[in-house]
Amino acid sequence: MFEALLRLWPQWLVAAIVTLLCISIGLAVGWTSPYLAQLTGEDPPFPVTHEQASWIASLLPLGRLFGAAIGSLFVEYLGSKMSVLLTGLPMIVAWICITCANSATWLYISRILSGVSMGMIFSCYPLYIGEISAPSIRGALVGLIINGMPLGILFGNIMGPNLSMMCFGIVSLTLTLCYMGIFPFVPQSPHYFIRRNDIKKAEKAIQWYHRKSDLRSELEAVERFVKSTYAMTIRERLEQIKEPKNRRAFVIIILLFMFMQLSGLNTVIYYMEIIVRKAMITSITPSSVVIIVNATGIIFGWLGAYAIDRCGRRILLAISSSGVIVGMWLLSLHFLLLDYDYDPGDLEWLPILSLLIFMLMCFGLVPVPSTMLSELFPSDLKSAAGFVASITSAIFAFISTKSYQPLADIIGDQYIFLIYVAIMVICVAYSLTLVPETKGKTLQEIQDMMAAGSATERSQQESHVEN
C-alpha cells in the first residue's frame, strides 16, 4: 500500500486540487436551498416572487447547456487540462454577482454563469482524469472529485442561515481564486503531448504522474491508445461514432446521465428546505434537517469512492438507485398521509428518514456516470462524449428543476416523488442487465471489451433475423 501511494500520489494531489473547484460549484448548488427560502419568506434581503425563485433555481441547469458546448470545444482545441482550468473563470464572475446582488437580475446572471461552469467541468474533468490515472484508482479519483460537490452543498447549507449573501459570495470567491492560483502548475496529460507528437514532454508527464513506473511501457501504452483511435477529419469522426461499440457507449452515457438527473437530484437539493417546511417538521429546524441530510450524502459519497474500484460500477448503480426508490416512496407516502389529515407530529421521522435514504444516490448514481464517461470512449471521441454527456445532464436537470413547482401546483408533491420512483425502477433493471463492468480495466482493454460486446450483440441480431 505504501509503495502504491508513493507511486500514485501525484494523481491524488491533482484530483484534490480539482476538488476545490467542485466544492465551489457545490457551494453554488447549496446556496439555493437556504437563500430561496429566505428570499421568498418574511423579511427577505430583497423581494423575490415564487416565479422568480423558480427561475433562479432552474437557470443553473440551463446554463449547463452553454457550458457543455464551451467545455467540449475547449477539450477539442486546448486539451483537457486547460479546459479544466478555464472552468474556474465563469465561477469567479458568478460569485462576484452574488456579492453585489440587490435584485433578482444579479442572481439570474450568477446562476447562468454557475451553470456554465458546471457544464464545462462535467465535459472536461472525467476525460482529464481518465488520461492521467492508473486503472486501479481511476474510479476513486473521479469519486473524490465528484464528492467535492456534495461537500460544497453541505458548506453552503451551513453558511446560508448564518451569513449574509455578500459574505457567502466573498468566501466562495476566495476558494475559487485559490484553485485558479494552484492548478496552472499541474502538467498536461501524457495523451495531450502524444497527440501533438511531443515525445519528450510526454515522457516528463508520465514521470510526474506515474512515479516509479516503467517509462517505456507506459509511453508505448499511451501511444498505442492514442494512435489506434486517431481520426483526421470530421467525416472520419462521424463515421467512427457510427461504429457499434461507440454508438453503444454513447447510448450508455446518455441513459446514465438522464437517470441521474431524473432521480429527483436537483429537485430535492434545490428545494429541500421548502420540502421540509411543507412536510411540517417542527421538532428540528428545516435548515438543520438540510445540513444533516447533505452530511449523510457526503458519507455515502466517500463510501462510494472507496467501493467503486472494489465492488464495480454496476452494483453501485443498482444499490444507489434502489435507495432512491425507497427514499422517494417514503417521502410520497408522508405527503399522502398528510392529505388524509394524519397528525404531522407523529410523522416527522418519516420525511427525515426518506431524505437520508434518498442520499444513497451519492453512493453510485452520481459518481458512476462520470467514471464511465472517462473510460468508455476512444481518444478522439472524448470531447464529443463529454459534450453529449454534459448537454444531456443539463437538459434533463433543467426539465426536472423547472417542472417541479408547476407539477407540485397541479398534481401535488407526492405524485412527483412517485414519478421518480418509476424512473429509478427502470434504472435498476438497466444497471444490472445492460451496463458494462469496467472495474480494473485499462482504457485499451475497455475498448476491446466494447468491441467484443458489440460484435456479440450484432451476431445475435443476425441469428435472430435468420431464424
DSSP of 146-204, one letter per residue? HTHHHHHHHHHHHHTTTS-HHHHHHHHHHHHHHHHHHGGGSPPPHHHHHHTT-HHHHHH
Q: What is the CATH number of the domain that holds 263?
A: 1.20.1250.20
385: left (phi over 0), alpha (psi -120 to 50) or beta: alpha
Residue 416 lies in a domain: yes
d(CA 402, CA 297): 23
Nearest one of 127, 133, 142, 128 to 221, comparing CA atoms? 133
Q: 220 lies in a domain?
A: no
Provide the pLDDT for residue 343. 77
Residues 236 and 233: their CA atoms lie apart, in Å, by 5
CA atoms of 119 and 115, how far apart (whole Å): 6
The answer as to whether 63 is a domain residue is yes
> Number of folded domains in the chain?
1
Q: How far apart are CA 125 and CA 141, in angstroms?
A: 10
The answer as to whether 58 is a domain residue is yes
Residue 393 maps to a domain: yes
How crowded is the C-beta side of 297, counted as CA atoms within 13 Å?
Answer: 33
Widest pairwise Cα distance in the chain: 73
- The answer to whether residue 165 is domain-embedded is yes
From residue 136, give the alpha-carbon distance in Å to each of 106, 142, 451.
44, 12, 22
Task: Give, in order, the Cα–Cα distances in Å from 323 to each of 102, 109, 320, 438.
Answer: 40, 35, 5, 23
Handedness of CA 129, 217, 76, 236 (dihedral sign): negative
Residue for cell digits 508520465? 206
Q: Cα separation of 173 and 422, whole Å?
A: 40
91, 117 contact by CB (below 8 A)? yes
Nearest to 389 by CA among 118, 109, 131: 118
User: Could you read off the pLDDT tens digit of each residue along the chain, which spans 467 residues?
Assistant: 455 556 778 888 888 999 999 999 999 988 887 888 788 777 777 878 878 888 888 888 788 888 888 887 888 788 888 889 999 999 999 999 999 888 888 999 999 999 999 888 877 887 788 888 877 777 778 778 888 888 888 888 888 888 888 899 999 999 999 999 999 998 888 888 887 888 888 888 888 887 766 777 777 877 777 776 555 555 766 777 778 888 888 899 999 999 998 888 878 887 888 888 888 888 888 888 888 888 898 889 888 888 887 888 889 999 999 999 999 999 999 888 888 878 777 778 888 899 999 999 888 888 888 888 878 887 677 777 877 887 888 888 888 888 887 888 888 888 989 999 999 999 999 988 888 888 877 777 887 887 776 655 555 555 554 55
Q: What is the pTM of this model?
A: 0.70
- 208, part of any domain: no
d(C-alpha 372, C-alpha 388), whole Å:
13
Full residue range of the structural domain in which residue 155 is found = 2-186+229-466
The residue type at 111: R
Q: Which pLDDT score, from 0 to 100, does residue 280 have? A: 83
- Is residue 328 a contact partner of residue 264, using CB atoms and an 8 Å limit? yes
CA–CA distance, 113 with 105 (Å, rounded to integer): 13
Q: Give the pLDDT score at 1.
A: 44
Distance in angstroms (rounded) separating the CA atoms of residues 319 and 323: 6
Phi, psi (rounded to 5 degrees) for 347: -115, 5
C-alpha cell at 313: 460500477
Residue whose grid cell is 440587490: 102
SS3 state at 210: coil
Phi (first) and psi of residue 135, to 5 degrees: -55, -30
How far does the chain reach from its first CA to its final CA, in angstroms? Answer: 54
**Is 369 within 8 Å of 313 (Cβ atoms)?**
no
Q: Grid coordinates standing for 467? A: 431464424
In angstroms, what is the C-alpha Rg of the chain? Answer: 22
Residues composing the chain: 467
Q: Is 412 exposed, middle or buried (0-12, 13-18, 19+ CB in 10 A)?
A: middle
Report yes or no on 214 lying in a domain.
no
Collect all residues with Cβ–Cβ distance below 8 Å to 173 and sequence separation of at least 6.
92, 95, 96, 99
